[in-house]
Amino acid sequence: MLAKRIIPCLDVKEGRVVKGINFVNLKDAGDPVEQAIIYDSQSADELVFLDITASYEKRSIMIDVVSACAQNIFMPLTVGGGIRTIQDIRNLLKAGADKVSINSAAVRNPDFLNEAVKVFGSQCIVVAIDAKKIGNDFYVFIDGGRVNTNKKVIDWLIEVQERGAGEILLTSMDKDGTKEGYDLELTKLVCENSTIPVIASGGAGKMEHIKQVFEIGADAALAASIFHFGEISIQETKKYLSQNNINVRI
């Protein structure tokens, strides 16, 4: 069985790490390069770097910040935000990213996914799904959670898998930043319908939440607030998970 992964996330705005609740009310959480170095020293399995306003502001991601992070860490780096072209992906990979995370551009032009997979391979292409529950269904949002696409999450999940995506980064907008725990209903639904790895995101507040999301099928758990502000360390989390029969890299 593959080891479960613990992935800290750097949400970056204007060159600084930020963290909010439900995608709003952002507060400063430090310098991205300094944070990346800390997580590397704590044996994080991967790092996700998201330029959270790039798509909404219709600009390219901050390559210089990505490059500085990549030069200072030795774990895999996934980068997302404002990726719209094959050249954008090429630039990020040249800057040191191992994978790219695509959301808004894939929804607006699904053929872009096919092209990206053809050029770079499935292993490079992560599809980010920002999901919110409306009525009895979960829907996909884009542009940093500002726009409801009216696409149901499972319909979009099935489509991106067929188009060759290698991994899903699933964020619950309802749970994001609340520290109340992951959206287990949403995550379980996606895991049961996914043939590719699923990274669960949104809501981690304590180690037990991470254990719960692994127990329902997530391959990786992404967290920000609990790690950024020093509430718990990645080493503590991995030790706890191992003691609870979750296979992790210590």
In the DSSP assignment, the letter for residue 122 is G
- What is the predicted pLDDT for the residue at 57? 63
pLDDT at 225: 80
Count of CB atoms situated within 10 Å of the CB of 164: 17
Token look-up 């127990």 returns 215
Cβ neighbours of 111 (radius 10 Å): 9
Give the C-alpha separation, 24 to 177, whole Å: 9
Structure tokens of 133? Answer: 């529950």
Partners of 99 in the beta sheet? 78
The encoded tokens of residue 103 equal 């959301």
Rg (CA), the chain: 16
In the numeric block, the tokens 């992964």 are attached to 5
Q: Identify the DSSP state of 30.
A: E
Q: Coil, strand or helix: which one is 104?
A: helix
| CA–CA distance, 46 with 39 (Å, rounded to integer) | 9
HSE, side-chain direction, 13 A CA sphere, residue 155: 10
Q: Per residue of the chain (250 residues), what is the pLDDT tens digit?
A: 689 999 998 888 777 777 555 655 555 667 888 889 999 999 999 999 988 566 556 555 578 888 999 999 999 999 998 899 999 999 999 999 999 999 999 999 999 999 999 999 999 999 999 999 999 999 999 988 899 999 999 999 999 999 999 999 999 999 998 999 999 999 999 999 999 999 999 999 999 999 999 999 999 999 988 887 778 899 999 999 999 999 999 8
Element (H, E) at 25: strand 24-30
- The Cα–Cα gap between 16 and 5 comes to 25
Q: Which residues pair with 220 in a beta bridge?
A: 5, 199
Strand, coil or helix: 43: coil
Query: How far is it, in rounded angstroms, from Cα 80 to Cα 51?
Result: 6
- Residue 28: per-residue pLDDT: 63
How many of the other CB atoms lie within 10 Å of CB of 133?
Answer: 15
Q: What is the reported pLDDT for 17?
A: 78
What pLDDT is attached to residue 56? 55
Give the per-residue pLDDT at 61.
57
Q: Looking at residue 230, what is its pLDDT?
A: 76
Is the distance from CB of 32 to CB of 17 less than 8 angstroms? Answer: yes
Residues taking part in catalysis: 11, 130
